[in-house]
Amino acid sequence: MRLSSLLCVALSLAMLVACGEPAAPAAAPAAAADEAAYSMADFARVPKFDAHVHANVVERAFLEQARADGFELLSINVDYPDFPTIARQRAAALELAQAEPLRFHWATTLSMQDFGAPGWAAAVGADIGEAVEQGAVAVKIWKNVGMIEKDADGALIMLDHPALAPVAERIRALDVALIGHQGEPHNCWLPLEQMTTSNDREYFRNHPQYHMYLHPEQPSYEDQMAVRDRFLAAHPGLRFVGAHMASLEYDVDRLGAFLDRFPHATVDLAARMSQVQYQSVRDRERVRDFFIRHQDRILYGTDLTQGPDSDPDEFRRTAHAVWTSDWRYLATGETQRVDMIDADVPGLSLPRAVIDKIYYRNARRVYVRGGNGD
Ligand SMILES: [Zn+2]
């Protein structure tokens, strides 16, 4: 079904090109490109989907701001020690989904606890099956696989570990997406002063255990990417979403090559917009072309997180500020100051049809079965 809709898109594009030529005007007026883009005035009314958030508490601020700004949400549970327990994250997701099922979607995750014990994969598979029955539309596997968790012999458990294969197969059979966050931004393997964005610098200053420049005995950046690619090659039927631009955020050309190589993969933009902006202030057309070329494979996402310590009003202000800033950058041609890269960043002014896919239709297709995202 997904393949046929992709073919449909390809066919209609081909027909557009084939049929459109004779009737096309000799030269489009310069204003046409601008007219084809959205403005800030369109922000609240255009349907949008933030495909990577963490609503970790039973509190309505997130949903209320999403409603005000025209967003659906995918809240992703994660096996992350800084978050509430997985059970609490799931309980929050179930309650919020019940409150507003058309706006709030959620992804379950898997715990690496007891990995290697007999029956581990079967128990994890059963838990994922139960979550999907409860409404989960995807499964998250976090960077603890590849960076933290070790097997009985003390070796790091990498994504292509044979014991994870039956779990991947179960996810494929359930026909939900696997969201993979493997590795880290390229910056993670650099000293703090060489990192390209201040948000990465701050994160790795505060989380030295994940700052791989300090741990040269750990797998390299290229090791992490190669393992993930081997895993994808071994599971061609699996719908895979590379969280955080599949950790290839530093080079849109390399990310484009990844998407070309793995047609069953998409990527989300969560927490990496400044990396994209870092590239577009140096070569705007290169980045703009990337979005247009891969318009069916990119999901808008932020990583906005409402936790137990978040003040609801402040969280709403932050969410609105992040969402409007990203819209200004992707959808309009307006310039804004981006402190994370200490630069004035002109917007990409992407065509409306591309924005509609990145901001809504792709996420509906990947995550909401029976949705209207084609
Ligand atoms: Zn996240």
Residues 163 and 121: beta-carbon distance below 8 Å: yes
Residues 274 and 197: beta-carbon distance below 8 Å: yes
Query: Does residue 9 lie within any of the structural domains?
Result: yes
Measure 262 CA to ligand 1 centroid, in angstroms.
22
13 and 124 together in one domain: no
Provide the pLDDT for residue 32.
52
300 and 205 together in one domain: yes
- The model's pTM: 0.89
Cα 151 to its chain centre, rounded Å, is 28
Cα 76 to its chain centre, rounded Å, is 10
57 and 176 together in one domain: yes
28 and 113 together in one domain: no
Measure 88 CA to ligand 1 centroid, in angstroms.
16
Query: Does residue 348 lie within any of the structural domains?
Result: yes
CATH number for 177: 3.20.20.140
Measure 64 CA to ligand 1 centroid, in angstroms.
20
Provide the pLDDT for residue 353.
96
21 and 126 together in one domain: no
Measure 127 CA to ligand 1 centroid, in angstroms.
21
Measure 93 CA to ligand 1 centroid, in angstroms.
15
159 and 208 together in one domain: yes
Q: How confident is the prediction along the chain (374 residues), in pLDDT tens digits per residue?
A: 343 333 333 333 333 333 333 334 444 444 454 458 999 999 999 999 999 999 999 999 999 999 999 999 999 999 998 999 999 999 999 999 999 999 999 999 999 999 989 999 999 999 999 999 999 999 999 999 989 899 888 999 999 999 999 999 999 999 999 999 988 999 999 999 999 999 999 999 999 999 999 999 999 999 999 999 999 999 999 999 999 999 999 999 999 999 999 999 999 999 999 999 999 999 999 999 999 999 999 999 999 999 999 999 999 999 999 999 999 999 999 999 999 999 999 999 999 999 999 999 999 999 997 544 44
118 and 250 together in one domain: yes
CA dist., res. 256 & res. 248, Å (int): 9
150 and 45 together in one domain: yes
Closest CA to 166 of 129, 210, 211, 203: 129
CA dist., res. 307 & res. 265, Å (int): 29
Residues 76 and 106: beta-carbon distance below 8 Å: yes
341 and 302 together in one domain: yes
Query: Does residue 374 lie within any of the structural domains?
Result: no
Measure 16 CA to ligand 1 centroid, in angstroms.
38
Query: Does residue 373 lie within any of the structural domains?
Result: no
Q: Which residues of 230-249 are buried (b: 16+ CB within 10 A; e: fewer)?
A: ebbeebeebbbbbbbbbbbb
Measure 69 CA to ligand 1 centroid, in angstroms.
20
Measure 367 CA to ligand 1 centroid, in angstroms.
16
Measure 52 CA to ligand 1 centroid, in angstroms.
6
Measure 67 CA to ligand 1 centroid, in angstroms.
21
| Distance from the first to the final alpha carbon of the chain | 9
Measure 304 CA to ligand 1 centroid, in angstroms.
8
CA dist., res. 99 & res. 53, Å (int): 17
Query: Does residue 372 lie within any of the structural domains?
Result: no
114 and 6 together in one domain: no
Measure 181 CA to ligand 1 centroid, in angstroms.
8
18 and 125 together in one domain: no
Instruction: List the domain range (segments joined by +) for residue 21.
Output: 1-33
Provide the pLDDT for residue 109.
97
Measure 339 CA to ligand 1 centroid, in angstroms.
21
Measure 178 CA to ligand 1 centroid, in angstroms.
14
CA dist., res. 40 & res. 125, Å (int): 44
Q: Which residues of 294-331 are buried (b: 16+ CB within 10 A; e: fewer)?
A: bbbbbbbbbbbbbeeebeeeebbebbeeebebbbbbbb
Cα 153 to its chain centre, rounded Å, is 33
Query: Does residue 357 lie within any of the structural domains?
Result: yes
Query: Does residue 132 lie within any of the structural domains?
Result: yes
Measure 270 CA to ligand 1 centroid, in angstroms.
7
62 and 18 together in one domain: no
Measure 200 CA to ligand 1 centroid, in angstroms.
14
Measure 293 CA to ligand 1 centroid, in angstroms.
25
Query: Does residue 174 lie within any of the structural domains?
Result: yes
Phi, psi of 268 (to 5 degrees): -105, 160
CA dist., res. 240 & res. 366, Å (int): 9
Q: What's the total number of domains in the chain?
A: 2
Closest CA to 279 of 268, 290, 294: 290
